[in-house]
Amino acid sequence: MQGLSRRSSNGAISAALEEHIERADRTRHLNGFTYRNDEAARERAAELDADPDACPGGLLRGWVGVIKDSIHVKDAPNSAGTPLLRNFVPQKDARVVTAVLNQGAIVLGKANMHELALGTTSNNPTFGPVRNPYGEDHSSGGSSGGTATVVASGAARFGLGTDTGGSVRIPAALTGLYGLRPTTGRYPGHGVTPLCSSRDTVGVMTRTMADLDIVDQAISGAAANTPSPVESGLRLAAPSARYTDELDPEVRRVWLDSVQALQDEGITVAELDTSIPDALDDEWGMDIVFAEAYSELQKYLAEFVPTLTLDELLAGIAMPEVAAAFAANRPASEKARELMELQARSAKRAAASEYAKAFSATGTSALIFPTTPVPAPRLGVDDENVLVDGKLCPSFNTLTRNMKPGSFAGLPGITLPAGVSSVGLPVGLSLDGPAGSDRRLIAIAGFIDGVLAKAASSSRTI
């Protein structure tokens, strides 16, 4: 399929699309999609097959994608996973969708998600629970769980999700995918149902690192700015102990094996004290989410769904934990909300500054750590809690623990598959880089991916 990005190929684009549609049909029970438009996708594929001048040279020519149901696609419902937005149909594509379409992509449909992007299970009562292709009684994570399931099951080549505090990287890790959260503000954000603009960003999921690289180029326009290849001698750093102290034994095994494989290849994995940005996120990270969410959802509804008020939207929330979170964190007044936002944004700038100083002072190219402390939890058994090394811990705090600090500071982050548990559930390894280092971070992730693949191959032959 790689050659389809360059030229028409006698119906090959349409044939490849049919394979994706067949896979989507066979995996319908996983509840990855909220909406599909097979005929529109077929028309798009036929146009690309028939006209070599349609999107000539497009990096994604003929690639089938799925879009999270909080990112606007023209003439497709945009529910954001919540009942009262099910009938909202945008009349324009989000700018990030326009970017991939201009590069020749085909949108097959919209992906299921955790309601209003506020959670990590994607156990959505409106559209059904999103199931993990690696274990159908397990979660695909959230909030972009449907995107992960669709891409991991082969029904799409790439997917777009959103990431406020891990919502792309958590599902990618739990389903064996590569997931990118770009530096905040690097991708266009207009036409996306908001949660917290100072943390929100669209992100990408793919089944290969090479595909992740290409989709990033297509969206960012960075094709001409590809960094030189990464060599051994790279300096990485494991952040504060909180990232690795409490891990499921299966995750700890994969983590330690990965570090050993990197060190065997001549890569330095040092330690780096990130306690200051970690503490700033602990104190202000969620405050800024709700300080901005109330204001930005109100503005969003006024622009796109003026017949619906924010109070009506919140009253219609279907997931009890999402409704409870909004109710518990509602600012007492607009003045209180504005003050909280100012304080939280100041803390965010301080966290970003601390990271920048730490990277610069130590010569560290990227932080490295387990993406999630546990493999995919069981779905619908106890969505509020998860067992971590024998301790019962809150699911949301556990799954987002390692993702939130870098997100709060606006750093780019990538998760890549590093291994599997004894029952075949994927385990992810994450990299966070300095703000603006996205292309360099992608190159580093590609190099590390090769090292881990080499180590896995060697272990199989012993």
311-333 pLDDT, tens digit per residue, is: 999 999 999 999 999 999 999 89
Kindly state the average pLDDT of the residues 61-83.
99
Residue 1 has pLDDT above 90, yes or no: no
- Residue 7, number of CB atoms within 10 A of its CB: 13
State the Cα–Cα distance between residues 138 and 380, nearest whole angstrom.
Answer: 8
Q: Return residue ranges of the chain for CATH 3.90.1300.10.
A: 2-276+346-461
Cα 69 to the center of its chain, rounded Å: 13
Residue 194 has pLDDT above 80, yes or no: yes
Which amino acid is located at 4 in the chain?
L
Cα 380 to the center of its chain, rounded Å: 22
Report pLDDT for 10. Answer: 79
Residue 229 has pLDDT above 90, yes or no: no
The verdict on whether 167 is a catalytic residue reads yes
Tokens 């594509």: give the residue: 93
Contact criterion met (CB below 8 Å) for 121 and 142 = yes
Kindly state the average pLDDT of the residues 137-145.
99
Q: How many CA atoms lie within 13 A of 297 on its CB side?
A: 24
Report pLDDT for 9. Answer: 58
Strands (E), 47-105: 64-68
Q: Please state which of the ranges 30-34, 181-185, 380-384, 426-430 shows the lowest mean pLDDT.
A: 380-384
State the Cα–Cα distance between residues 224 and 172, nearest whole angstrom.
Answer: 27
Report pLDDT for 460. Answer: 61
Tokens 């077929």: give the residue: 42
Residue 3 has pLDDT above 70, yes or no: no
Report pLDDT for 224. Answer: 55
The two tokens of residue 326 are 């909004």
Mutual orientation of helices 209-220 and 438-461 as an angle, nearest 10°? 170
Report pLDDT for 367. Answer: 98
Q: Which of 5, 9, 14, 68 is catalytic?
A: 68
Return the H-helix or E-strand segment holding 137.
strand 135-139
The two tokens of residue 224 are 């001409």
Report pLDDT for 222. Answer: 86
Task: Provide the 3-class DSSP secondary structure of residue 132.
Answer: strand
Kindly state the average pLDDT of the residues 423-452.
98
Tell me which residue of 90, 88, 142, 112 sits closest to 24, measured CA to CA: 112
User: Where does 197-333 have alpha helices with state H?
Assistant: 209-220, 249-264, 275-304, 310-315, 320-328
Kindly state the average pLDDT of the residues 159-178.
99
Q: Which of 8, 143, 295, 365 is catalytic?
A: 143
State the Cα–Cα distance between residues 117 and 293, nearest whole angstrom.
Answer: 11
State the Cα–Cα distance between residues 336 and 330, nearest whole angstrom.
Answer: 10
Q: Which of 167, 258, 295, 395 is catalytic?
A: 167
Q: Which CATH class is domain 2-276+346-461?
A: alpha beta
On the 0-12 / 13-18 / 19+ scale of CB atoms within 10 A, 247 is buried
Peptide bond into 143 cis (omega under 30): yes
Confidence of residue 459 (pLDDT cuts 50, 70, 90): low
Report pLDDT for 457. Answer: 80
Confidence of residue 5 (pLDDT cuts 50, 70, 90): very low
The two tokens of residue 430 are 């994450």
The verdict on whether 430 is a catalytic residue reads no
Which amino acid is located at 21 in the chain?
I
State the Cα–Cα distance between residues 378 and 140, nearest whole angstrom.
Answer: 9
Report pLDDT for 8. Answer: 45
Residue 296 has pLDDT above 80, yes or no: yes
Tokens 């529109």: give the residue: 40
Sequence-ordered list of residues with C-beta below 8 angstroms from that of 332, at least 6 positions apart, any chain:
none
State the Cα–Cα distance between residues 108 and 231, nearest whole angstrom.
Answer: 38
State the Cα–Cα distance between residues 193 and 188, nearest whole angstrom.
Answer: 13
On the 0-12 / 13-18 / 19+ scale of CB atoms within 10 A, 300 is middle
- pTM for this predicted structure: 0.96
Which residues lie across from 124 on neighbouring strands? 128
Residue 111 has pLDDT above 70, yes or no: yes
- Mean pLDDT over each residue of the chain, to the nearest integer: 95
The verdict on whether 335 is a catalytic residue reads no
Confidence of residue 4 (pLDDT cuts 50, 70, 90): very low
Residue 228 has pLDDT above 70, yes or no: no
Residue 2 has pLDDT above 70, yes or no: no
Residue 288 sits at φ, ψ, to 5 deg, of -70, -30
Kindly state the average pLDDT of the residues 165-170.
99
DSSP string, 365-396: -EEEEES-SSSPPBSSS-TTEEEETTEEEEHH
State the Cα–Cα distance between residues 175 and 169, nearest whole angstrom.
Answer: 10
Kindly state the average pLDDT of the residues 289-313.
97
Residue 16 has pLDDT above 70, yes or no: yes
State the Cα–Cα distance between residues 405 and 367, nearest whole angstrom.
Answer: 12
Residue 35 has pLDDT above 90, yes or no: yes
State the Cα–Cα distance between residues 244 and 373, nearest whole angstrom.
Answer: 8
Residue 7 has pLDDT above 50, yes or no: no
Contact criterion met (CB below 8 Å) for 237 and 272 = yes
Residue 428 sits at φ, ψ, to 5 deg, of -105, 155
Counting residues of the chain whose pLDDT is more than 70, the rounded percentage is 95
The two tokens of residue 361 are 């002072």
Query: Comparing 233 with 61, which gets the higher pLDDT?
Result: 61
Confidence of residue 274 (pLDDT cuts 50, 70, 90): very high
Residue 192 has pLDDT above 60, yes or no: yes
